[in-house]
C-alpha cells in the first residue's frame, strides 16, 4: 500500500493506494479508531487542542469529533491525496493540512495532546518527528502513538523532551488482523 515519491517522503500514501486506504479505514477498521478515540480521550483535557500526525483519511479524527466535540482537532499528513480524503470525510470538523512530521507548521506549545496511529513507522526521520512533537506539545502535554512493533518507539522515547514513557500492547478490536502497540509519553518543559 506504499507509494514512493521522489526523494523526500518515502512513506507517503498517494493516488489509488490512498483511495483504497480511505475505504479500508472507514469501513473495515472503524472499531480500531473507536478504541483509540476512547483511549486518547482520557488524556485530553476539556476543550483541549489535539493534533493527529499522519492522519490519513482522518477516520480517527471523525471518531474523536463524535465522542469529544469539545476538542479542537487538527490533522496533518504528508500526502496531499490523504489530506483531500480527510477534508471530505471530516466536513470541516477538523483543520487538516499537508505537513511532514519532521517539520510541523505550528507554534511551540500549541497542543495538549498529539496522537499518531499507524503512521510513525512510515516517517523518514522519526528523531526529527520526536523533536517536533516535543516542541508543539505544551509542558505536561501527552503523546500517544498506536503502531506496529517495528515502529520507531525507541527513537521517539530517546528525545529528552519526553518523560514518563510507557509502552504496551493495545487491543485493536480486530484480533489477529491488526496487532499494535500503545506508546505514551509526557512532554517536559
What does the binding site for ligand SAM look like in residue numbers (CB under 6 A)? 11-13, 25, 53-56, 59-60, 76-79, 82, 100-102, 117-119, 122-124
- If the CB atoms of residues 59 and 187 are measured against ligand SAM, the closer one turns out to be 59
In whole angstroms, how close is the CB of 31 to ligand SAM at the nearest point? Answer: 13
Question: Following DSSP, what letter does each residue of 56-120 receive, concatenated?
Answer: TT-HHHHHHHHH-TTSEEEEEES-HHHHHHHHHHHTTSSEEEE-BTTB--S-TT-EEEEEEES-G
Cβ at position 30, least distance to ligand SAM in Å: 11
Beta pairing partners, 98: 77
Contact 172, 147 (CB under 8 A): no
In the complex, least distance from residue 13 CB atom to ligand SAM, rounded to whole angstroms: 4
* Choice between 13 and 130, CB closer to ligand SAM: 13
Torsion over CA of 3, 113, 23 and 66, rounded to 10 degrees? Answer: -170
Q: Which residue is nearest to ligand SAM (CB)?
A: 56
Residue among 35 and 138 whose Cβ is closer to ligand SAM: 35
Amino acid at each position: 500500500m506504499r507509494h514512493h515519491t521522489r526523494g523526500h517522503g518515502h512513506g507517503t500514501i498517494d493516488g489509488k493506494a490512498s483511495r483504497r486506504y480511505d475505504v479500508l479505514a472507514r469501513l473495515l477498521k472503524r472499531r480500531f479508531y473507536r478504541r483509540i478515540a476512547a483511549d486518547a480521550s482520557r488524556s485530553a483535557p476539556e476543550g483541549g487542542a489535539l493534533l493527529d500526525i499522519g492522519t490519513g483519511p482522518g477516520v480517527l479524527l471523525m471518531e474523536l469529533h463524535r465522542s469529544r466535540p469539545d476538542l479542537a482537532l487538527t490533522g496533518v499528513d504528508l500526502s496531499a491525496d490523504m489530506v483531500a480524503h480527510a477534508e471530505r470525510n471530516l466536513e470541516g470538523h477538523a483543520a487538516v493540512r499537508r505537513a511532514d512530521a519532521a517539520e510541523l507548521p505550528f507554534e511551540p506549545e500549541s497542543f495538549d495532546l498529539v496522537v499518531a496511529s499507524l503512521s510513525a513507522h512510515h516517517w523518514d526521520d522519526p528523531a526529527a518527528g520526536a523533536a517536533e512533537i516535543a516542541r508543539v506539545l505544551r509542558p505536561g502535554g501527552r503523546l500517544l502513538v498506536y503502531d506496529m512493533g517495528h515502529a520507531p518507539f525507541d527513537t521517539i522515547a530517546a528525545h529528552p523532551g519526553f518523560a514518563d514513557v510507557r509502552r504496551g500492547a493495545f487491543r485493536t478490536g480486530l484480533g489477529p488482523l491488526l496487532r499494535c502497540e500503545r506508546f505514551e509519553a509526557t512532554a517536559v518543559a
